[in-house]
Each structure stands twice: as C-alpha cells, then as structure tokens.
A = this chain, B = another copy of it.
Amino acid sequence: MPAAPTRSLQVITGVAAMRTAVRALQQRGETVGFVPTMGALHVGHLSLVDAAAAECDRVVASIFVNPTQFGPSEDFTKYPRPLERDLELLRERGCDLVFVPEAAEMYPQGYGTSIDVGPVAVPWEGAARPGHFAGVATVVLKLFECVPADRAYFGRKDYQQTLVVRRMAADLNLPIDVRVCPIVRDADGLALSSRNVYLSPDERRRALALSQSLRLAEEIISRGERDALVVRERMLALIAAVGGVAVEYVAIVRDGTVDEAPEIDGPVTIAVAARVGTTRLIDNVQIG
C-alpha cells in the first residue's frame, strides 16, 4: 500500500501572486477561508484552520508580525517568529496556502494610510494600547485585499478585536464573512497565547488567576448575582489573593459591544487584561 501523499502547503510572499492564487480557486467554484495570524502558532490558531477547513473548500493562512499594531514600548522585536515550525504546523493541519508577505511590500516608502473604526476601538484595549486597533484594522484590511477570501476566521480571545474587525467589515462593505471561534485553553484553564512562552513557571502559575477569576464570575452570576460591581470586586479579590498579577482592567460589557453593563440583565462578556511580570495577557468569557 503506498504511503499517503504528503499534504502540500504553498508559501506565497508576493501580493499579486497571492491574490491571483485565491481568485483562481474561486473561479473554479471553490470557497476560500482565511486565517490571518502573526505566526508563533498554537492550538488556538490551528482551531481556526480547522474551522475554516470545515466550512470552506480551501484554507489560506497568513503569517505577518505587523509592526503597526505594536506600541513603541511593546514586544514587536522580541515577538516569537518560529517560521519553519509554523509552516510545518499549517502543513500538518491541512492548510493549502500561506501568505508570508515582506514588510517592505506591506509598508513601502511613503506609506501613510490608517483606518479608525470609531467608538468600538476606544475603551479597554484601545485605551491600554494607543494606536493598536488602528494598526490592526489597517493590516486586516490590507490582508483581506491580498487574500480576497470568502470567510475570515478570528479567535474570541481577542474579543474587542473581533468587534473592531466586524465593525470595519460592515462599515466598509467588505465582501468577506467574519467568523469568530471559541477560545482554546490549556488543561489548567490558561487561554492559549503566543505570549505565554514569555512566562516563567512561577508567572505561568500566577497567570491562571485570569481564567480563574472569569470562572468565578460565571459561577456567581449563575447563582444570581446581577451587580457588575460585586462581580468585579470578587474577581479582583481572587486575583489579588494569587498575587503577582497587575490588573489593567476588568470589563463587564453587554455581549457584542464595548459598553459597560452595570446590571447583568442580559448576555455579557467579561474581559480582563493584566500584566504578569512583563508579559501582558488578556482573557474573556461570554456569559448568558
């Protein structure tokens, strides 16, 4: 019996070649799913590839560590870039094409454009990371223009980012369906993130306070608590008890928005951002 053929993964670096490849698939009647990433892939990213493969005939990923979404004091230069490993993971997972653009083609000399999606990008992550969502929106639009797919897949761990991308897609009449997939967690509850590799063993243990505080919130809301202030205080107390975790915010918002829900009288998302050592982590849960 012959060995199963090795699944092939085509790596494309040029914008024109990428667009041509996607259109050629579509002209054959195939649907294309797109998974934009900054590389350093983990099982969360791969779950997006799986979701795309389940809904589309072909899957295209991109790997681009986008400089414009990092602040000047953030971790752009040290952000992990294990390209060969990433390509191997995508190949194993059945991804068909991967777009690995050059920064020089993405941001050529004279580059000046940025996209502001308005109020949804202002609070929470927007306030903590000035310019971040303009960088995200702009590069996502650029990637959508380079990879004119039918559907694009984003992870819910970046809750506010999913709102930013959906707002942009609606406002700019983008011909792409934005799909949002569940958070993937390690067995101990830590939300998967490319930044988890920065954590020392002690920090990693303390970082569990984030997901633990979200589970606590779920519990006390399921037992009838409706006051967001009480929920937030209980979460902050849990995190403080663990120690070594500097909370940036605990957002209790109406689900699908960035608007605070003082009273929990409908579906909410609770999002938390914190530093553990020098590593910034975010996590969230949808309730109701």
Q: By CB atoms of chain B within 10 A, which of A108, A116, A119, A137 has the most? A: A116
In the complex, A171 Cα to B109 Cα: how many Å?
Answer: 10
Give 10 A-B contacts (CB < 8 Å), ordered by A residue: A19-B175, A110-B167, A113-B117, A113-B118, A113-B167, A113-B172, A115-B116, A138-B172, A145-B173, A145-B174
Q: 8 Å CB contacts to B: which residues of A271-287?
A: none
Contact of A115 among B19, B108, B113, B167 (CB under 8 A): B113
Q: Is the CB of B146 within 8 A of A113?
A: no
Q: Check A112 for interface membership: any CB of B closer than 8 A.
A: yes
- A residues near B (Cβ < 8 Å) are 15, 19, 27, 106, 108, 110-120, 137-138, 141-142, 145-146, 148, 167-168, 170-175
Query: Inside 8 A of A106's CB, which chain B residues have their CB?
Result: 173
* Partner pick for A145 among B114, B115, B137, B172, CB 8 A cutoff: B172
Bound Cα distance A137, B141 (Å)? 14
From B19, B110, B171, A113 is in contact (CB under 8 Å) with B171
| B111 and A171 within 8 A (CB) | yes
The CA-CA distance from A111 to B167 in the complex, in Å, is: 8
A120 close to B115 (CB less than 8 A): no
Using known A-B contacts A116-B113, A116-B116, determine if residue A146 contacts B171 with beta carbons closer than 8 Å. no
- Contacting pair A145 B19 (CB below 8 A): no
Asked if B112 contacts A120 (CB within 8 A), the reply is: yes
Partner of A173 from the list B119, B137, B142, B168 (CB cut-off 8 Å) is: B142
Contact partner, A146, options B108, B115, B167, B173, Cβ 8 Å: B173
**Quick check: A113 and B175 within 8 Å, CB to CB?**
no
Residue with the highest number of chain B CB atoms closer than 10 Å, among A19, A110, A113, A138? A113
